[in-house]
Amino acid sequence: MKLYNIANPSETATFREAVLRGSASGGGLYQPTQLAAIDDVEELLRMPFVERSARLISSIIGDEFASDDILTMVRKAFDFPVSVKAATNGTFSLELFHGPTLAFKDFGARFMAQILGHITGDRRPGEPKRITILTATSGDTGAAVAHAFLDVPGVEAIVLYPAGRISPLQEKLFCTLGRNIRTFRVDGDFDACQSLVKGSFKDEQLVKNLGLTSANSINISRLLAQICYYFEGVALIRALPGLRTAIPVISVPCGNFGNLTAGLMARRLGLPVKRFVVATNANDTIPRFLAGEPYQPRASMATLANAMDVGAPNNWSRIVALYDGDEKHIRGDLTCGSLDDDGIRQALRKLWKHGFMAEPHTAIAWSILKRSREPDEIGLFLATAHPAKFRETVEEILEVRIDLPPALSAAASRPLLSEDLPNSPEELRRRLLQIA
Ligand SMILES: *Cc1c(COP(=O)(O)O)cnc(C)c1O
């Protein structure tokens, strides 16, 4: 697959190079130069999840990796189920949270770990001897990345997260692992963490000495993995009685907009989708833009859906590039809405009245979908995290008790291993060079 740097289109890379580097020069993002539509999508939709996903990924990077290797990597990465569950009238959730860290980010992180493991096992001249994953998280990425890379040989993972802005359980899930995983608790918000990471990637000495790469949703390998579950979502809907030819509306709870980017790429490949719904929390930079305002990022604010507390979504430039910069087309194509914390509470309670337990991110996707759904439409909303992952919030709002799944209860009793980091690029640089 050939990719180009959105910030400097004459700079191109192979998929292998783009995965190793994470972001392109000047902090630009790698974007596929082309995504060719797949011939027989109907046949593809009838295949089992793992085989179909391998076929999809091979259609994109088959020029760089053997199909057998891709199938093996996909099988190892996607070793947990995806399911669809009926919610309220005409809406269905796509449960993406059955992986080891109970959130959809397991898909991207685990596939990326497979790809990097494959690349380091077959290192080429000029490629770094060691790889250091440096990533910022508003909660779920950190857990998914830490678990996916734990004990991957030749790879060290460093995760930055905002102090006091993630749930205590979330913190336990990824800051207690040790071994090749380090976690920095940053005195700042998510945007501060993200900008510390971005700054490090602009520092050539750091990049070279540590073999720095990113596992944020800016890494293209994560997006490829995420394309796959959109196809599974449509396939599962079509397996339901009376929905054999359904073309659903898909609602995506958005923070950094990686998930939506993958959905739009899936549609480019031929996935039948009626339209996409963009759902955000009170950090509504994109809904404001889609409503006709100029693009104007704001500082992020803390909400109940903290994995979406992003003021300046880092994948937005990819979406603009997918539409060739045509703002009018973007505004006409995407339905959107945002929900503040009160709205989240109400949505959770309404769903619970229907016997459906959700967590804040999923509740946003459902609520904005419901607001915009036409009576004859089949709506699919992405359930991006397990309710137990946001247990404190959900228990308080719904006045219920949630049992912890085994993965969380085991982590809850382990000591935190995080180091405190001031919001200072110089200090981060000093610590990273110590590791190198
Ligand atoms: C990361 C995350 C999101 C937002 O996904 P983006 O790709 O950043 O838009 C939504 N829900 C949950 C639970 C998440 O962890």
Whether ligand 1 lies within 6 angstroms of the CB of 307 is answered as: yes
The reply to whether ligand 1 has any atom less than 6 angstroms from the CB of 103 is: yes
Ligand 1 atom closest to residue 361's alpha carbon, by position in its atom list: 11
Name which residue sits closest to atom 14 of ligand 1, judged by CA. 307
Give the mean pLDDT per block of 10 residues along the chain (436 residues). Answer: 96 95 87 94 97 97 97 96 96 96 94 92 82 86 90 90 88 93 95 92 90 83 97 98 97 97 98 98 98 94 93 95 97 97 98 97 98 97 94 95 85 94 97 88
pLDDT of residue 411: 87
Rounded Cα gap, residues 174 and 192, in angstroms: 20
What pLDDT, on a 0 to 100 scale, did the predictor assign at position 249?
98
Ligand 1 probe mutation, 104, 220, 318, most atoms within 8 A of CB: 104
Q: Answer whether 147 contacts ligand 1 (Cβ < 6 A).
A: no
Identity of the amino acid at 432: L
Q: How is the beta sheet containing 91-95 ordered, strand by strand?
A: 83-86, 91-95, 379-383, 249-253, 275-280, 335-338
Cα torsion at 102, 103, 106, 109 (round to 10°)?
A: -130
30-32 and 2-5 strand pairing: antiparallel
| Residue whose CB lies within 8 A of the most ligand 1 atoms, among 105, 222, 277, for a mutation test | 105
Ligand 1 contacts CB of residue 101 (under 6 A): no
Extract the tokens encoding 404. 């912890």
Q: What is the pLDDT of residue 394?
A: 97
CA 114 to chain centre: 16
* The pLDDT value given to residue 130: 82
Which letter, b or e, does each residue of 372-387 get, where b requires 16 or more Cβ atoms within 10 Å of its Cβ? bbeeebbbbbbbbbbb
Q: 50 alpha carbon to ligand 1 midpoint, in Å?
A: 23
Which residues does 233 contact at the CB level (< 8 Å), separation at least 6?
Answer: 82, 84, 94, 248, 250, 380, 382
Cβ–Cβ < 8 Å for 335, 372: yes
Q: What does DSSP assign to residue 8?
A: E
pTM check: above 0.75:
yes
Q: In the numeric block, which tokens belong to residue 221?
A: 């390998």
